[in-house]
Amino acid sequence: MDLSRIENKLKESFANQFALIERRSGLYQLMIPIFHPDGDMFDIFLQIDGNNKITIVDCGLTLMRLSYTFDLDTGKKIQLLNRVVYQYHGQIDLETGIISLQSNLEQLFNNIMQYTQLVSGVLSLTLMQRKSVASIFYEKFDKYVKTSLDKYLPQINFKPLKQDDDTVVNYAFENNGKSIFLFPTSGDSKTKDAIITILSLQKASYPFTSVVVHDSYDKLSKAVQKKIMKVADKQFYDMTDFEEIAPEYFRKNLA
User: For residues 50 and 106, is the Cβ–Cβ distance under 8 A?
Assistant: no
CB count within 10 Å of CB 109 equals: 15
Quote the pTM value. Answer: 0.56
**Within this chain, do residues 112 and 212 fall inside the same structural domain, yes or no?**
no
Read off the CATH number of the domain in which 240 is found. 3.40.1350.10
Which string of DSSP letters, residue by residue, matches 126-137?
HHHHHHHHHHHH
Does residue 99 share a domain with residue 26? yes
Provide the 10 A C-beta neighbour count for residue 212: 26
201: closest CA among 154, 224, 169, 223?
A: 169
Last residue of a domain, which of 99, 123, 147? 123
Q: 22-31: long-range contacts at Cβ-Cβ below 8 A with a sequence spacing of 24 or more? A: 27/57, 28/3, 30/112
Q: Write the CA distances from 164 to 32, 168, 184, 191, 200, integer angstroms.
A: 51, 9, 21, 20, 10
Residue type, position 18, single letter: F
pLDDT at site 254: 86
Question: Considering 78, 97, 123, which residue would you say is the last residue of a domain?
Answer: 123
Backbone angles phi, psi at 132, to 5 degrees: -65, -45
Same domain? For 141 and 118 the reply is no
Q: Which of 54, 160, 163, 186 is nearest to 112 (CA)?
A: 54
Q: Do 8 and 115 fall within a single domain?
A: yes
pLDDT value at position 209? Answer: 96
Other CB atoms within a 10 A radius of the CB of residue 85 amount to: 20
Can you name the residues that pair with 55 across neighbouring β-strands? 47, 102
* 97: helix, strand or coil: coil
Last residue of one domain, picked from the residues 123, 144, 174:
123
- Within the chain, strands assigned E span 19-24, 27-31, 44-48, 54-57, 91-93, 98-103, 155-158, 169-175, 178-185, 209-214, 234-236
Please give the residue range of the domain that contains residue 193.
134-253
In the chain, the number of structural domains is 2
pLDDT of residue 1: 66
Q: Give the pLDDT confidence score for residue 130 in this predicted structure.
A: 66
| In a shared domain, residues 101 and 145 | no
Q: Is residue 128 part of a domain?
A: no
Predicted confidence at residue 248, as pLDDT, reads 93
pLDDT beneath 70: ranges in the chain: 1, 128-133
